[in-house]
Homo-oligomer: A and B are copies of this chain.
Amino acid sequence: MRGMTESLASYLNANQQRHLDELFALLRIPSISTAPEHTADVHRAAAFVAESLKQAGMTTVDVIATDRHPLIYAECLEAPGKPTVLCYGHYDVQPPDPLDLWETPPFEPVIRNGNIYARGAADDKGQMYAHIKAVEALRAVHGRLPLNIKFLIEGEEEVGGASIARYVATHGERLRADVALVSDTALYAEGVPTLCIGLRGLIYLEVEATGPSRDLHSGLYGGAAPNAVFGLAQLLGKAKDAEGRILIPGVYDDVAEPAPAELESWKSLNLDEARYLKEEVGSSRLTGETGRMVLERVWSRPTFEVHGIGGGFTGVGSKTVIPAKAVAKVSFRLVPDQDPDRVIAAFKEWVARETPPGIQTEVRVMNASPAVMVSPDHVAIATAAKAFSEVYGRQTVLIRSGGSVPIVGDLATHLHIPSVMMGFGLPDDALHSPNEKFRLENYYTAIRTVAHFLTLYGG
């Protein structure tokens, strides 16, 4: 097997089924961090992960209570003089709704066409668990680890990660490391070893609109009374032009363009836009800033999205009300060098100015994190690229992700370390959507690749 010793390869082969059974057991736990009714499940998932870390040979394993969901810290520091790698992952998942679109239940993992189908299979249980299994294998085979390992695993990634942010900000000594290993991104395509060197940031907000003091009869008051749902729709509709360019003044002010070399490498990936539209997006056409290629739009350009809107009567049948209230959940994705605070200020100013007459609006900031970039010249990044290339037998490509992994920013800010973003998911894994999947083969390859990286980096 490429990129590993015979002994490691045979251990991994011998333990394939157990490694899969253990992952399935974790996937069966509906650890939906945003849903209060699933708090007990979140705690069960935390306990499961902690037990796995003990079995992997970590000398310290702490389940740390927080204001919301537990953090798990583990370490094995038995390689004096060797570098220290901090492995990050999260055991919480997104809500599975809309449930009726799942072919099989989200928390009953199954193998279909070589894929593991389950909520959290790729984001992030499958990838996080691969780290643990790689460490377990190295220790089982060699009796020791090639370097020092720390794990920090959270249960709030899908709800903003407030607890881990606080922990990282206040435990710099305990978490000290040379580099972080984060597997929460994707391969550019099947079989293409991919390191992510840039992430977009995220500002998540709620906008609430209020019109009349109560729902009104639209016959008796229609024509004279303001409508909260219409007012909110009219406001939000003005945020972008028909193509998708943001019209909120100031949002593009600090946007840094990617380096020409980076742009060139993105072009060389030859994204098949027809396939992307048909197989990934599935709409009648793409939108976005005209004159910029798709990879620019999703990797190096800011966005404004409405994630949900609710107000008035949405039940079965008809109800003729002028709604008093409406709420929308919206976000901005941020790129270098946007400052979240400046964008929030620009949005609040725009909302205040553009809110229609008779409507009151309130903006609530739920969380905010800036974009981050790491240098491909850092030894750990270069070593990760080499390990990846050796396991896959082809050149590692360097990309960005349009998604946000707030922890990467926190680690850079507080621990002053870069993150190796070594992901094993695929673009069509349906993260946050019905029928989320993780390719079975990629689960095993992830274990091999992480083990090989740790071995090479340990020298």
Give the B-binding residues of A (Cβ under 8 A): 33-36, 94-95, 97-98, 101, 158-160, 186, 200, 202, 204, 210-227, 229-230, 232-240, 242-244, 276, 280-289, 294, 297-298, 301, 303, 305-323, 326-329, 331, 333, 356-360, 366-367, 401-404, 427, 430-435
Chain B residue contacts of A284, Cβ below 8 A: 226, 358-360
Once the chains bind, are B319 and A329 in contact (CB under 8 Å)? yes
Chain B residue contacts of A229, Cβ below 8 A: 306-309, 328
Chain B residue contacts of A289, Cβ below 8 A: 223
Tell me the bound Cα distance from A402 to B306 in angstroms: 34
Tell me the bound Cα distance from A158 to B320 in angstroms: 9
Chain B residue contacts of A434, Cβ below 8 A: 214-215
Chain B residue contacts of A36, Cβ below 8 A: 316
Chain B residue contacts of A317, Cβ below 8 A: 33-35, 159
Tell me the bound Cα distance from A220 to B224 in angstroms: 43
Tell me the bound Cα distance from A399 to B218 in angstroms: 18
Chain B residue contacts of A223, Cβ below 8 A: 244, 288-289, 297-298, 301, 303, 333, 402
Decide yes or no: A319 and B34 within 8 Å by CB, A309-B309, A401-B219, A430-B214 being known contacts. Answer: yes
Once the chains bind, are B329 and A287 in contact (CB under 8 Å)? no
Tell me the bound Cα distance from A319 to B160 in angstroms: 10
Chain B residue contacts of A310, Cβ below 8 A: 309-310, 314
Once the chains bind, are A320 and B204 in contact (CB under 8 Å)? yes
Nearest to A95 among chain B residues (CB) is B319
The one of B202, B224, B236 in contact with A237, judged by C-beta atoms closer than 8 angstroms, is B236
Chain B CB within 10 Å, residue with most, of A229, A285, A435: A229
Chain B residue contacts of A432, Cβ below 8 A: 215-217, 319-321
Top 8 closest A-B pairs, CB basis?
A213-B282, A219-B403, A237-B237, A34-B317, A308-B312, A223-B297, A234-B237, A310-B314
A-B contact pairs, 18 of them (CB 8 A): A33-B317, A94-B319, A211-B283, A212-B282, A214-B433, A218-B305, A219-B403, A222-B298, A223-B289, A224-B298, A229-B307, A232-B233, A283-B360, A308-B311, A308-B321, A312-B329, A320-B331, A321-B432
Decide yes or no: A306 and B227 within 8 Å by CB, A357-B285, A432-B321 being known contacts. Answer: yes
Chain B residue contacts of A239, Cβ below 8 A: 230
Chain B residue contacts of A320, Cβ below 8 A: 202, 204, 305, 307, 331, 432
- Nearest-Cβ distance from residue A304 to partner chain B, whole angstroms: 8
Nearest to A234 among chain B residues (CB) is B237
Once the chains bind, are B433 and A321 in contact (CB under 8 Å)? yes
- Nearest-Cβ distance from residue A322 to partner chain B, whole angstroms: 6
Tell me the bound Cα distance from A51 to B98 in angstroms: 46
Tell me the bound Cα distance from A101 to B325 in angstroms: 13
Chain B residue contacts of A221, Cβ below 8 A: 280-281, 298, 402
Chain B residue contacts of A312, Cβ below 8 A: 306-309, 329
Once the chains bind, are B308 and A323 in contact (CB under 8 Å)? yes
The one of B212, B214, B314 in contact with A309, judged by C-beta atoms closer than 8 angstroms, is B314
- Nearest-Cβ distance from residue A303 to partner chain B, whole angstroms: 4
Tell me the bound Cα distance from A231 to B244 in angstroms: 10
Nearest to A32 among chain B residues (CB) is B317
Chain B residue contacts of A222, Cβ below 8 A: 298, 303, 305, 333, 402
Chain B residue contacts of A357, Cβ below 8 A: 242-243, 285, 287
Chain B residue contacts of A358, Cβ below 8 A: 283-287
Once the chains bind, are B329 and A318 in contact (CB under 8 Å)? yes
Nearest to A204 among chain B residues (CB) is B318
Decide yes or no: A35 and B211 within 8 Å by CB, A311-B309, A333-B219 being known contacts. Answer: no
Chain B residue contacts of A305, Cβ below 8 A: 218, 222, 227, 230, 320, 322
Once the chains bind, are B214 and A282 in contact (CB under 8 Å)? yes
The one of B94, B220, B234 in contact with A401, judged by C-beta atoms closer than 8 angstroms, is B220
Once the chains bind, are A313 and B319 in contact (CB under 8 Å)? no
- Nearest-Cβ distance from residue A41 to partner chain B, whole angstroms: 15
Nearest to A313 among chain B residues (CB) is B308
